[in-house]
């Protein structure tokens, strides 16, 4: 059984952090085992942040794939972190890369990639991609499943 005593958010009532900087990403141990690394995917199809200039909401479909080494990001803490962007003003590129870098900082994965598929503002969708390097050899990397923009239906 995994020791979860250090987790402060799972199983507790926790208010949404006021900012991504204030959000706490928690981790749990992971045992990789032998063979090719596992790929873990988080999909956030209703991600929201604010335009730093107008304060208007921006919407994205975020897909995070990572190959954990010794730590997994705890999913409730990730959800609270992602939700904290609803009151955060930043450009699409900054939000997307910030998410990837924060997960890397706490989990130290073998590899991570993030795709931010942003819905149009002014008629132009912006897609932002960031990864830590080449994917691990032997890992199965499925397509992100997000179609090129055609209404993102």
Neighbours of 81 (CB within 10 A): 24
Query: What is the structure's pLDDT at 124?
Result: 86
Which class in CATH covers the domain with range 23-131?
alpha beta
**Backbone torsions φ then ψ of 7, nearest 5 degrees:** -75, 130
73 is in an annotated binding site: yes
Is 51 annotated as catalytic?
Answer: yes
Q: Which of 3, 34, 44, 51 is catalytic?
A: 51
pLDDT classification of 48: cutoffs 50, 70, 90:
very high
Q: How far apart are CA 29 and CA 11, in angstroms?
A: 18
Chain centroid to CA 96: 8
Q: Measured between alpha carbons, how far is 87 from 55 in angstroms, rounded to an integer?
A: 9
Distance linking the first and last C-alpha atoms of the chain: 41
pLDDT in tens, 81-90: 999 999 999 9
74 marked among binding-site residues: yes
Residue with the bigger pLDDT between 110 and 148: it is 110
Check residue 121 and give its pLDDT.
82
Beta-sheet strands, E only, within 24-56: 27-29, 40-50
- Say which of 3, 34, 44, 58 is annotated catalytic: 58
Give Cα separations from 57 to 5, 29, 48, 141 (angstroms).
37, 35, 7, 31
- Given pLDDT bands bounded at 50, 70 and 90, which one contains residue 150? low
Kindly tell me if the per-residue pLDDT of 148 is higher than 80. Answer: no
151, pLDDT greater than 80: no
pLDDT over 70 (residue 2): no
Asked whether residue 75 is marked as a ligand-binding residue, the answer is yes
Cα distance between residue 93 and residue 118, in whole Å: 10
Own/partner long-range contacts of 134-138 (Cβ < 8 Å, ≥24 apart): 135/67, 135/111, 136/36, 136/37, 136/67, 136/110, 136/111, 137/36, 138/35, 138/36, 138/37
Residue 15 annotated as part of some ligand binding site = no
State the Cα–Cα distance between residues 126 and 118, nearest whole angstrom.
Answer: 5
Percent of the chain scoring above 90 in pLDDT: 76
Annotated catalytic, 143? no
Mean pLDDT computed over 64-72: 97
Q: What is the per-residue pLDDT for 57?
A: 95
* pLDDT computed for residue 152 by the predictor: 54
Phi, psi of 148 (to 5 degrees): -55, 155
Kindly report, residue by residue over 3-27, the tens digit of the pLDDT.
Answer: 677 877 687 788 889 999 999 999 9
């Amino acid at each position: 059984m995994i020791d979860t005593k250090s987790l402060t958010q799972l199983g507790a009532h926790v208010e949404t952090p006021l900012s991504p900087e204030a959000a706490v990403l928690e981790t749990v141990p992971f045992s990789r085992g032998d063979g090719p690394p596992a790929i873990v995917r988080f999909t956030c199809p209703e991600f929201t942040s604010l335009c730093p200039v107008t304060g208007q909401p921006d919407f994205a479909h975020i897909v995070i794939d990572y190959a954990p080494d010794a730590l997994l990001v705890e999913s409730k803490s990730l959800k609270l972190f992602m939700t904290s962007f609803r009151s955060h003003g930043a450009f699409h590129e900054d939000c997307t890369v910030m998410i990837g870098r924060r997960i890397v900082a706490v989990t130290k994965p073998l590899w991570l990639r993030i795709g931010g598929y942003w819905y149009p503002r002014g008629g132009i969708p912006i897609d932002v991609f960031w990864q830590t390097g080449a994917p691990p050899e032997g890992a199965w990397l499925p397509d992100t499943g997000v179609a090129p923009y055609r209404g993102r239906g």
